[in-house]
Amino acid sequence: METLQTLANKSRELLNDQLNSFDSNNGKAGIFISITALFIPIVFSIFEKFANSFYWIILFFIPIILDLIGIYYLIKAMYPKKIFHGINFSEFDNLVNKNIEDVYLFEIGINRDSFNDNSKILAEQNKQLKSGLNYIFLSAIFLTIIFFLNLTINNFTKMADNTQQNSNSNNTTGNTNSSNNGNSGRQIPSTNSGQRSTIEKGGNSGDLLKK
């Protein structure tokens, strides 16, 4: 009799531990959904950094999609599930007239079968919770890589633009200095006919004396 009582008590403990696992998974899923709900507005707050290119926009939405998939699995993990929890109250009327040994045996069988059937549901819930967390972590890693990649490319682009501007500025300054140096020498200006003296050539000296 003591053996049956011990097994009945142990089966209750194992079944209660299993039910606590369900509650724990629901709590974890709810916490991660709350954290992830704050992640999406933060992502959109830096959207303007990616809005300058169509390809960056496409890459930007990949982590958001991954994050939404993760939330979907977490919600599935929290979705109400039919689980077994010991003897049904409707069985009490049938057990009241049985001896204690039969009652213990029946309870042990009920708890064992409940535990086995719940194990499949718990395994599926654990799988959904794990999948949701994997998608969320993958989303965060992907967004971090995109952000730093975009930041690095923008910095290199700005550095290249500044270098080009400095080069153009130096070339303009050099051309100006060359032009100034070339104009610093003396130049002979062009003149008009009124500024020049004239003499007449031709004829003989006699004609000039007669005049």
Distance CA 78, CA 81 (A): 8
Calpha distance 39→36 (Å, rounded): 5
Confidence (pLDDT) at 135? 93
pTM across the whole model = 0.66
**Where residue 208 falls among pLDDT bands split at 50, 70, 90?**
very low
DSSP codes joined into one string, 25-47: HHHHHHHHHHHHHHHHHHHHHTG
Longest dimension (CA), the chain: 175
Half-sphere exposure of 57 (CA within 13 A, CB side): 5
Model confidence band, residue 99 (pLDDT cutoffs 50, 70, 90): confident
Which residue intervals of 47-99 are DSSP H helices? 54-78, 92-95
Is pLDDT of 3 > 70?
yes
User: Which H helix or E strand runs over 50?
Assistant: none
- Summarised one tens digit per residue, pLDDT across range 124-156 is 999 999 999 999 999 889 888 877 877 787 677
Domain-by-domain residue ranges, the chain?
A: 2-157
**Whether pLDDT at 207 is above 60:** no
pLDDT for the residue numbered 176? 55
Eight-state DSSP code of residue 17:
H
Segment 72-78 shows an average pLDDT of 92
The residue type at 124: E
